[in-house]
Amino acid sequence: MPDFDTSRPIFEDPPDDMGEQYGVLLVNWAGASGRETVEMARAYRTAADRLLHLAGEAGESWEAIDPILFCYRHAVELYLKALFPGSTKNHGLGKLGAALMAQLEGRYRADQVNWLCDRISEIQALDPRSTAFRYADSCHAGAEPEIWVDFHHLRAVTHAIFDAFERVHSDGNVARYPSNRGVAP
C-alpha cells in the first residue's frame, strides 16, 4: 500500500490528470449539484445493492443491515421526490406515496399501483422520519420489537420497486403535473 499524506485535504481542487486517477469530480454550480434527484436515487440504489451483495458474500447480516436499509429507504424517498419536483424537504413518505397513487390511478393496473403504494407504506411505517437506520436510539415507539429481513427477498422486492419507479419516471406520468395539485409531503 502506498504511503499517504494524511494531512492532505480530503476535498481538493481537481487534479490536472483527473482521467488517470481514482476518484470523482463533484460539481457545484452556484449551489446546485449538477445532477438530478433521480440520479441521486439511482446512486443510493446502487450503493444499497452493492452493500447487500458484499454482505451476502461475507456472510454478514447484522453488521451491514443499517447502511443497506438506509440506502434503500433513501433511494425510495429520492425517487418519489424526483417524481414530484418541488416537494418539501422533509423525509416522510406517506404524503408522497398517496400523491403517487392518485397520479397513477387509471394509468397503470390497479394491482400494480396498490402493490407499489403498499411497499412505500410499509417502509414509511417502519421508518417514518428516516432515522431508524441512521441512529441507534431512533426507532419509533410503535415499532415491532423484532422484524426479520430476508436478504434475497429484500433484493427482489427493492428491484421491483425501483424498476416501477424507473418506468413511471421514463413514462413521464407524474413529473409533468404542475405542483402535483399542491401535494406536499
> DSSP class of residue 60?
-
Q: Is the dihedral of CA 47, 114, 171, 156 positive or negative?
A: positive
Nearest to 75 by CA among 124, 123, 42, 122: 42
pLDDT (mean) for 79-87? 88
Q: What is the pLDDT of residues 91-147, one digit of tens each?
A: 889 999 999 999 999 999 999 999 999 999 999 999 888 888 888 777 766 777 788
> Which region, left, alpha or beta, applies to residue 133 given φ > 0 means left and ψ of -120 to 50 means alpha?
alpha
- What is the amino acid identity at position 45? R
pLDDT at 19: 86
Residue 104 neighbours by CB under 8 Å, 6+ apart: 113, 116, 168, 173, 174
Contact assessment for residue 50 and residue 146, using Cβ atoms and an 8 Å cutoff: no
- Alpha-carbon distance of 120 to 143, in angstroms, equals 16
Q: What is the pTM of this model?
A: 0.83
Percentage, residues of the chain above pLDDT 90 = 50
pLDDT at 111: 95
What amino acid occupies position 153? H
Arithmetic mean of pLDDT, 4-11: 88
Contact assessment for residue 78 and residue 41, using Cβ atoms and an 8 Å cutoff? yes
CA angle, 116 as apex, 113 and 118 as ends, to 5°?
105
**155 closest CA partner among 18, 31, 43, 55:** 55
Residues 6+ apart with CB under 8 A from 92: 124, 128, 129, 185
Q: What is the rounded distance in angstroms from the CA atom of residue 47 to the CA atom of residue 53?
A: 10
